Structure 1
Amino acid sequence: MRKLLGFLPAFAAFGLVMGLSQVANAAEVTRVASSFDQDFNGNTFDLHFGVSYDFDFKKAAIMREWGAGGQNRLARDLIYRQFRHTVTPMLEIGLWHDLSVYVSLPVVVSDNRNYEFDQEEGSDCIFPEGTNSNYTPGTATCVNKYNSTSIRDGIIPRDGFDAFETGNPYGQFTDVSPDRIFRAPTRRGLDQIHVGMKIGILNQERKSHLPNWLLGLEGRFAIGKPMTMSRDIQTSDPAGNHRVGRGMHELGVWTALSRRYRFLDPFFGAHWRYAFRAGDTNFENYGGAQGKSEPQSETGAYFGAEIVPWENKAQKKKVSIILQGSAVLHYNGRGYSEVWELLADSPALVGDVSPGQGADCARGVAMAYASANPMDPSGYLDAANDASGGCVAFSGITTLQDYGTFGLNASLNFHMGPYARLNFGADLSTDTRHYLTAASRGDGDRAGDPEIVDPDTVDVNPVRRDVVDNVGRRYAVDDVFNVQGYMNFVLTF
């Protein structure tokens, strides 16, 4: 399993960009605006305004458990790619000595995602069904329509889906081994607004024998409507297909410490954020045996150093190099994963969210209708409900296995005098391999034997879909490569 390092937690970006001040001897991550502090920094009132631009590229291998011959293994299936551009205006206001509040508003300019069959072997690919002269049963090294588990189970239509072709989204990938098999719509807009407060507990410039130490409180509040995915784009273009909101709030705390030694300023930071459903959300809680209903929370830490090869304190100019490593744990919840748009509104995942309380959803009827009527992408739900009732489309949100993100960050920081700062750099990150569809079977205590989840009873988890949550069918993500290039410009007054 190949891995690349790097991730800068979002709160650290705030510390880097928003926390600038006139104090000379603090690392960027422990800067704080300080007002009514003329004797210390010459400022009656500190106000920092900035804007940042981020470009994120993410590539990952989407794998699938494949049970055959009494064995279960992870098999190649798809390659996922995401391209996102974000512009973030930011404001920090000093309230008192080493005490400030800040706010930022990430605006997603565009977010595009697509999937192709895993053919990373290139010219050495061996495909099934005799398309390569070297092929013998069981020796395929690449994926096409003949051996893709997503095609096999009807999760993706055989000729794929292309949201850019609204007139005929189902007929764009007719080759056996197309370059792409699923293209999601372009998304843009707002997800959350970030607000927080930070306070300097210790300050090396005030007391030279002590480090700089910041404590922060931060809230990230959902302000954009939640994104959805509908394949019914031939007669309409649902607004949810173009949103980026996740319908979740986050509350957390963070801390950062640094201490400068001549030209070296080592630092350390940590954070914790608890995530929970917003009022307008697709993180539904159906009760019963569901178990997890909230989004994943996270906790993490970072460490590094700011190296200052040149500085003119009198003119408040400085050039520094920032190197940083980090680790983040995402845990205990559900989420919009790398496969959520593939799963959302798929006839293969139609189901009943009230198990044991009525007729079981006729999933087979839904799939048969979708296969026979590819130009009627919404009719599968009506057909299933006509046969059984109680059927709902799948939202795409799944229960995720806990996982870690690890990485490195490198950036250049320029203080161009007392009023302007420029910072640009890059993050490289990877995630540990983890399952993307990991809903439990349910709770056996509800209907009888606590050791057994009886089918078609209230024991069953209402968000579980056997086609992707059963052992032997689960989706996983691996070989995650995420690179983020960014530039921040800040004016300080």
Structure 2
Amino acid sequence: MRTRYQYFLGALLGASLFVGNPATAADFTNLLDAADDHDDLIEETYDPFDFNLETRVRMEFESATISRETACVPSDASLIGDAAQNNPRLIVDRGRCAEPRIISNKELDFSRQTTAIDIDLRAGIYKDLEFRLRVPYVFSSVAGMNYAAGVTAANSSVDPTDEVIGASARQFNSGDTQAQHVSNLSTFNGNRFFDVNGSEYERSGFADPSISLEWAPFNDERDDTKAKLLFGMAYKMPIAPVKAAGNKNVGEGMHELSWRIASSKRFNWIEPYFGLQYFLPFAATDSPIQRVDKNNQGQVFANPPQRGNITVGTEFIPHENTETGARYGIDLRFTFGYTSEGRNYTQLFDHMTNSSCNGKTLGDVLPQFDDQGQLSNLDDVACSWIVRQPSNADPVPIYNLGEALGDTSAWNTDGIMTVESYASFTGMLGVYLQPTKYFQLKGNVALTHNQEHFLSNARTGRDADDALESSPDDTVDLEGADATIEKNPVFNPTYDQTGNRFRIQENNIWSIFLTAALQF
């Protein structure tokens, strides 16, 4: 089936070499138009309709370091209590901390390589009004994970050895009751989240398509006393199969509306431009990004992040011949972006959803002992992190593990995390070659750097209205009757609690784009 897709996309790529329209404005503000010179009714110059079928091959290479918080004391672990002393990740090093505090340790090296193609159907409707349909297809997107430099299974807090897990599991006593074992989970830190070293997960297929409508009420080609001004609106449709555990899909299951305003002005051989863009996503019915429990008020964030971009740039045109259509351009662009806090897919998504811990029951992860009193299910106990997030329980969230003893619900993570807000910075170099009006080749190289931020940043919960509480107060109840309406169902203390959070650093994305078209 995948081969048939490739033949189909190859045919579209070939078709795009015979349809097009030469760009005369800066690429950032260029629109197809129609009904040009309609007013003078001169048949030789009348252009009733413009249509492009374009293909763009894109390759992305993403790299990042993922660190994790841990407690650090200069010399005496008793300074910060029993919980820290039971933590196998505790750092006792005066060189790392002069006083007790939380520090970050590098844990993982992340990489992702993506090869995709975008099919754009562009049509000029009337004057400077353009409609566009974009259909993306991802040939391959491979997410890989390795231990960071200096990290091995012997000192990893993501995929540790049995010895590390066993050291933390000493707090479980064979003579304790199951209720006591559940209580001890709150200080257990020997978790194994997923396989690390060299693990890779590949996705491919059609991504979510989008449609857009853009209009330029002012155009300096028609009136050189004015700058070109463009307004645009786009809608991304969540119709591609949604990515999740056990599949290779790339759809994200989100509607996304976006608006942009852009302006450019040609001055001899340079054309500076400026633009603002805003993205408003909201989850589709089959998206894993949802409010988990409608009766619960403790989920602080239930929606995906909103985004905004500010773009400035200049296109340089060293040569242009209006008679032959020859035109050569160099485009320098910088974009500042901001992403708000929200629930989202992260660099940990594929590895979390493919974790061997998915599908465990509470009974599976509680410690079991052999006749000699030795722990007999170490690998299962290492997965106990999965039962500490209420929303992981299927079919309904479980807020009190003590009351769930004997419950056979399977616990599964959807891999979605509450991501901290962050800024991004993108620089782009583009080269546009158009030897005649019938042929154009565009190449772009871009580097995006995302500011470091927490990948797991959910709150413990939120205080509900007093009228809904069994015992009205101004605190977030994590236990008792009010926990079911105030405890955040997507909070997992093993990676959302301060001292355990995952943080992404040195996150860079190289992007290469190549577009070719014959234009008539």
Taking structure 2 as the reference length, what is the TM-score of the superposition? 0.73
Q: Structure 2: how far apart are the matches of 1:381 and 1:213?
A: 52
Please show how residues 249-288 of structure 1 align to structure 2 within 5 Å: 249-287=255-293, 288=296
- The one-character-per-residue Cα deviations of 1:143-185 (angstroms, maximum 9, x if unpaired) are 111211112443345xx36xxxxxxxxxxxxxxxxxxx15232
1:93 correspondence with 2:119: no
On the 8 A contact 1:468/1:474 being kept in 2, the answer is yes
Q: CA deviation at 1:282?
A: 1.4
- The one-character-per-residue Cα deviations of 1:323-358 (angstroms, maximum 9, x if unpaired) are 000011111321110112232254668899xxxxxx
Residue 299 of structure 2 is aligned with which of 272, 285, 290? Answer: 290
Residue 405 of structure 1 corresponds to which residue in structure 2?
424
Q: Structure 2: how far apart are the matches of 1:482 and 1:114?
A: 14
Residue 155 of structure 1 corresponds to which residue in structure 2?
192
Residue 49 of structure 2 corresponds to which residue in structure 1?
45
Q: CA deviation at 1:205?
A: 1.2
Residue 135 of structure 2 corresponds to which residue in structure 1?
105
Q: 1:349 to 1:187 in 2, by over 3 A?
A: closer
State the SS of the aligned residue for 2:159.
helix
AA aligned to 1:451 is T
1:28 correspondence with 2:34: no
On the 8 A contact 1:93/1:100 being kept in 2, the answer is yes
On the 8 A contact 2:367/2:381 being kept in 1, the answer is no
Q: CA deviation at 1:450?
A: 2.1
Larger Rg: 2
Q: 1:351 to 1:98 in 2, by over 3 A?
A: farther
AA aligned to 1:117 is Y
- The one-character-per-residue Cα deviations of 1:436-478 (angstroms, maximum 9, x if unpaired) are 0011111123644323433351221001111010000000101
Residue 460 of structure 1 corresponds to which residue in structure 2?
487
On the 8 A contact 2:143/2:350 being kept in 1, the answer is no
Q: 1:465 to 1:346 in 2, by over 3 A?
A: farther
Residue 334 of structure 1 corresponds to which residue in structure 2?
343
Residue 215 of structure 1 is aligned with which of 224, 231, 235? Answer: 231
AA aligned to 1:411 is G
Say how many residue pairs are matched: 409
1:314 correspondence with 2:330: no
Q: CA deviation at 1:391?
A: 4.7
Residue 305 of structure 1 is aligned with which of 290, 294, 314? Answer: 314
Q: Structure 1: how far apart are the matches of 2:350 and 2:258?
A: 29
Q: 1:155 to 1:346 in 2, by over 3 A?
A: farther
On the 8 A contact 1:155/1:342 being kept in 2, the answer is no
Residue 475 of structure 2 is aligned with which of 451, 458, 462? Answer: 451
Q: 1:206 to 1:77 in 2, by over 3 A?
A: same
Residue 187 of structure 1 corresponds to which residue in structure 2?
203
Q: CA deviation at 1:208?
A: 0.7
Residue 61 of structure 2 corresponds to which residue in structure 1?
57
Please show how residues 356-435 of structure 1 align to structure 2 within 5 Å: 364=366, 369=377, 371=379, 387-435=406-454
Q: 1:200 to 1:21 in 2, by over 3 A?
A: farther
Q: Structure 1: how far apart are the matches of 2:416 and 2:114?
A: 20
On the 8 A contact 2:461/2:476 being kept in 1, the answer is no
Residue 102 of structure 2 corresponds to which residue in structure 1?
72
State the SS of the aligned residue for 2:229.
strand
Q: Structure 1: how far apart are the matches of 2:376 and 2:51?
A: 62
- The one-character-per-residue Cα deviations of 1:104-130 (angstroms, maximum 9, x if unpaired) are 1110000101111111xxxxxxxxxxx
- The one-character-per-residue Cα deviations of 1:15-58 (angstroms, maximum 9, x if unpaired) are xxxxx85563x211111111111459742210011100001000
On the 8 A contact 1:65/1:72 being kept in 2, the answer is yes
AA aligned to 1:220 is K
Q: Structure 1: how far apart are the matches of 2:437 and 2:61?
A: 34
State the SS of the aligned residue for 2:108.
strand
On the 8 A contact 1:257/1:268 being kept in 2, the answer is yes
Q: CA deviation at 1:397?
A: 0.5
On the 8 A contact 2:56/2:117 being kept in 1, the answer is yes
Q: Structure 2: how far apart are the matches of 1:294 and 1:320?
A: 41
On the 8 A contact 1:362/1:387 being kept in 2, the answer is no
Q: CA deviation at 1:226?
A: 1.2
State the SS of the aligned residue for 1:371.
helix
State the SS of the aligned residue for 1:439.
coil
Q: Structure 1: how far apart are the matches of 2:412 and 2:376?
A: 15
Q: Structure 2: how far apart are the matches of 1:294 and 1:191?
A: 20
Q: 1:332 to 1:485 in 2, by over 3 A?
A: same
AA aligned to 1:193 is P
Unaligned 5+ segments in structure 1 are: 1-19, 120-141, 162-180, 230-237, 353-359
Taking structure 1 as the reference length, what is the TM-score of the superposition? 0.77
Q: CA deviation at 1:489?
A: 1.9
On the 8 A contact 1:155/1:343 being kept in 2, the answer is no
State the SS of the aligned residue for 1:186.
strand
Q: Structure 1: how far apart are the matches of 2:277 and 2:192?
A: 38
On the 8 A contact 2:417/2:455 being kept in 1, the answer is yes
On the 8 A contact 1:82/1:111 being kept in 2, the answer is yes
Percent identity between the aligned chains?
Answer: 20
Q: CA deviation at 1:491?
A: 4.0
On the 8 A contact 1:54/1:487 being kept in 2, the answer is yes
Q: Mean alpha-carbon deviation: is it higher for 318-327 or for 186-195?
A: 186-195
- The one-character-per-residue Cα deviations of 1:193-221 (angstroms, maximum 9, x if unpaired) are 01000001110011111011111010011
Q: Structure 2: how far apart are the matches of 1:444 and 1:350?
A: 31
Q: C-alpha root-mean-square deviation of aligned residues, in Å? A: 2.9
Q: Structure 1: how far apart are the matches of 2:107 and 2:238?
A: 33
On the 8 A contact 2:364/2:381 being kept in 1, the answer is no
